[in-house]
Amino acid sequence: MKMLQQVLNGAVADRPPVWFMRQAGRFLPEYRAVRAKATFEQLLTDSDLAAEVTLQPIRRFPKLDGAIIFSDILVILDALGCGVTIPEGGPRLGRTLDQIPLDQPLDERVWEPVQVAIRKVKAALPAHVTMLGFAGAPWTLLAYGIEGKGSKSWSRAKAFLHQEPVKAKAWLDRLSDAAARLLNLHIAAGAEGVQLFDTWAGELDPEDYAAFSLPAVERTLRQVEGAPRLFFARTGYLPDALNTLPCEGLAVPWQVPMADARRRFPGKVLQGNLDPLALLAGKEISCAKARRIVEAMKGAPHVFNLGHGLTPETDPGVVAAVIEEVKK
């Protein structure tokens, strides 16, 4: 079994396996070269292009232990008929969830290109690299699905939870089942681990997160079988209830010290959690911070990663230096 798989199943490694959220993206010149010739939507719907950009960081950084398929969390909303487009200014929905029947059938044909891309990437990966799939978590999908686009406050989506709580919970259940279905399809296509992203977890206060989001996350994860499951809640507060989620690992956001997370979640594999913006400070500072994270997790199952995704301004040379630091 590959090292990342072993650690996701609870093993302790002398040197933690490494991958990065958004490692296939705009910080790489080879990715920008592809994007100069193709739109973002083309990358999502063309399995050859999706496979190519997934493999780019693996070629550049041969010591990476994980390859996460290039896709987008909003493919679930697209399969529900929201008509998702992703121009340069951010995602746009042709129809919001409150304009769609709750029993709208999923069009799983939307997801076929990513399954094909997973199979292509898996066949091309070096033997030590683990194939990863992912999906958006229900609350994050609901937030986009009600707003119809990105937001600084998510006021319409948050109001929907309280003004229409029965309908909101019904949609969260529906999105939970769709996310589980997508993750299981990723696993069937060859993913050896999957991550559920709750990007907008921090937009809810702890009470609302416990009432609305966490039950939906649990419903999703409980249905996923056949590969280790990681859950990422992008929030400065990590509720104790994460201890009982049916998943092997927690991705720790950069705001939470790893030593605190290790103390509070002793039964979970922990992933993370270098601040992505620390990489902009250069090699010396980034490597020193990475070293402290590795030290804090020594003797426990740990996957080194960031506390959120790589930013477009990141110097690939700094990423390479951090990988070397973690691996040495």
Catalytic residues: 22, 26, 35, 72, 144
CB atoms within 10 A of CB 5: 18
**What one-letter code names the amino acid at 186?**
H
Are 81 and 148 in contact, with CB atoms under 8 Å apart? no
d(C-alpha 85, C-alpha 35), whole Å? 16
Q: Considering only CA atoms, which of 75, 61, 74, 79 is closest in space to residue 20?
A: 61
d(C-alpha 172, C-alpha 83), whole Å? 19
Residues 6+ apart with CB under 8 A from 136: 73, 74, 76, 179, 196, 197, 198, 199
d(C-alpha 249, C-alpha 271), whole Å? 7
Cis previous bond, 273, omega within 30: yes
Do strands 193-198 and 302-303 pair parallel, antiparallel, or not at all (unpaired)?
Answer: unpaired
